[in-house]
Amino acid sequence: MHIPRFLLLATASLSVLAAGPGHAGAASSPDKADSTRWVARQAPGFYRFALGAFRVTVLSDGTAPRDVSAIMSKPQAVREAFAASHQALPVEISVNCFLIDTGQRRILVDTGAGELFGPLTGRLAENLRAAGYDLGDIDDILLTHIHGDHSGGLSIGGQRVFPNAVVHVDQRDPALWLSAEAEARAPAAARTTFRQSHQTVDPYVAAGRLRTFDGATQLFPGIRSVPLYGHTPGMNGYFIESQGQRLLLWGDIIHASEAQFRDPGITIDYDVDRAGAAATRHRILADAAREGFMVGGAHLSFPGIGHVRAEQSGFSWVPAPYSVALRE
């Protein structure tokens, strides 16, 4: 009988956990005096659920500490929103990626920060393996947009991380971030994104593994792009549909949930077009609240899956209930 690799890995992990915090197989209980037994990090960051016939795995790339009040419009309102939510600044912003296993293809949405954002990120590859997949299992990568925390995990040290994957992105983003002319016109403070884009995306260009599309496009059965322009010229979400169930993976619609759901007009310094980003955010929040589809956010607290609810003023976030079993 064939047993799926992710079940074998899960069984092995449970066996180690059952043995206790000492070495594998040790039947010991925690010793308060022996702090060397404890590792100061979380368990592997993945969360799996069913969407119709598809299997979705949320993969954590880690967290990025940011004082968002210093990089967002309406800084006082942002500070007050975090204080009202009992959250201290700087806050650790989740960096989430999403794997869609259709049964025929394994499609990864965004790749995290790779080596670009320091030691608290760059966890995608290890969490992908913990979830039962190898890097070579990925057939396609859908980038919501080209920014270091979404495309940074494509390449490490100039080498492609996903050897068999084709990368898909709206044509407007490489037209900006891979353009020598645009880089030459950009202010010095903005050139980091150009450099990082070449560092991580160029290896796929050189290998003939970058494919662009133009706006709303049916990319695969049950998977289509949704233009969400503003944060970058080509930011897209991806609408996943199977057996009547719907999920929108919306990239960077929200960076600071404590503030931006209530006031969608709050923007962030990373927005290329602030007015466009705010208008897109308000539109898609209203759509999600009205139509009731599930949402997956790159920077909503891991696993970042839930629904949007309309309030008398603005919106609020309703996280999906946690399930120990594979949620059908």
Domains and CATH numbers, the chain: 47-319 (3.60.15.10)
Alpha-carbon 293 to chain mean position: 18
Strand partners, 58: 47, 98
Q: Pick 150 or 21 by higher pLDDT.
A: 150
Q: Which token pair is 40?
A: 């100061």
pTM: 0.88
- Residue 44: the pLDDT is 80
Confidence of residue 313 (pLDDT cuts 50, 70, 90): very high
**Predicted confidence (pLDDT) per residue in 10-60, tens digit:** 433 333 333 333 333 333 444 444 555 666 778 889 999 999 999 999 999
- d(CA 149, CA 299) in angstroms, rounded, equals 10
Contact between residue 147 and residue 116 where contact means Cβ atoms under 8 Å apart: no
- Residue 295: the pLDDT is 98
Tokens 């069984």, residue?
11
- Residue 73: the pLDDT is 97
- Residue 36: the pLDDT is 58
- Residue 37: the pLDDT is 64
Q: Which of 83-87, 140-144, 188-192, 258-262 has the lowest mean pLDDT?
A: 188-192
**Looking at residues 260-279, what average pLDDT do you find?**
98
- d(CA 309, CA 290) in angstroms, rounded, equals 8
214 class by beta-carbon count within 10 Å (0-12 exposed, 13-18 middle, 19+ buried): exposed
- Residue 30: the pLDDT is 44
**Looking at residues 147-163, what average pLDDT do you find?**
97
Contact between residue 166 and residue 92 where contact means Cβ atoms under 8 Å apart: no
- d(CA 22, CA 147) in angstroms, rounded, equals 40
- Residue 324: the pLDDT is 84
Q: Which of 14-28, 35-49, 197-211, 256-270 has the lowest mean pLDDT?
A: 14-28
Q: Which token pair is 101?
A: 């296993």
- d(CA 194, CA 179) in angstroms, rounded, equals 8
Q: Are strands 294-296 and 46-51 parallel, antiparallel or unpaired?
A: unpaired
- d(CA 42, CA 321) in angstroms, rounded, equals 20
**Predicted confidence (pLDDT) per residue in 74-127, tens digit:** 999 999 999 999 999 999 999 999 999 999 999 999 999 999 999 999 999 999
Q: What is the mean pLDDT of the chain?
A: 90
Task: Give residues with Cβ within 8 angstroms of 180, minimum separation 6.
Answer: none
Q: Which token pair is 189?
A: 């403070």
Q: Which token pair is 105?
A: 């293809």
* CA proximity to 112, closest of 135, 87, 136, 84: 135
3-state secondary structure of 40: coil
Q: Pick 304 or 32 by higher pLDDT.
A: 304
